[in-house]
Amino acid sequence: MVRGVLAVSGVALLLAGCAEGPFSMKPKAGGAQATEAPSESAAPVAAEAPPPPANARTAAQFDTTTEEEKAAAAAAPVAAERELGTTIASLGDPTDPGFWAETPLVTVAQSGRLVYPGNGNSVQVELRPSGGPAGSGTRVSLPAFQVLGAPLTGLPELVVYAGHTG
């Protein structure tokens, strides 16, 4: 019982910390935010996973993606991409399924990739505009955090890439 209360409290604290905050963000030198609309061949990664059950309390219960979906998200991108910059990441809404990242580094939804330099892992995600100011950090989905192998309770620095063709 106490463990369940602690788990729920921990998720609540993580979610509270996911709101806009003073996290630093370093855009790539000379880079600008991605503002162009994505091309059809650079469609965002689809979120096929169902929402978690209403009684979900653990990370495993909140993550409804399959091992096949995780393997596909971890695969190398097939389209050209460009680096948008680095960002400090926190856990996003664990009830929102799929592989995504809400970031102020983009102004339109598009496909992209996150890299965790701590171990070199990467994951393909749908980059969603957060609407936050530069420096407000990026909220990342639970399955994406798990594929990256980044600490759920930490604030890891990630490199963000936008997928595009041409």
Q: How is residue 15 annotated by DSSP?
A: H
Q: Strand pairing partners for 138?
A: 89
Mean pLDDT of the 139-165 span: 91
User: What number of residues does the chain have?
Assistant: 166
Between 54 and 148, residue with greater pLDDT:
148
What are the structure tokens assigned to 26, written together? 């370093």
CB proximity list for 43: less than 8 A, separation 6 or greater: 111
Q: What is the pLDDT of residue 78?
A: 63
The pLDDT mean for the chain works out to 74
How does pLDDT run across 23-59, given as a tens digit for each residue? 333 444 434 444 334 333 333 444 467 777 787 777 7
Q: How does residue 9 score in pLDDT terms, banded at 50, 70 and 90? A: very low
Q: What is the pTM of this model?
A: 0.63
Tens digit of pLDDT for each residue in 86-113?
999 999 999 999 999 999 999 999 999 9
Residue 107 is predicted with a pLDDT of 95
> What is 2-163's CATH number, 2.60.40.10, 3.40.50.620, 2.40.40.10, 3.40.50.300?
2.40.40.10
Across the chain, the runs of DSSP E, i.e. the strands, are: 25-27, 81-91, 100-103, 110-116, 121-129, 138-140, 157-163
pLDDT at 22 exceeding the cut of 80: no
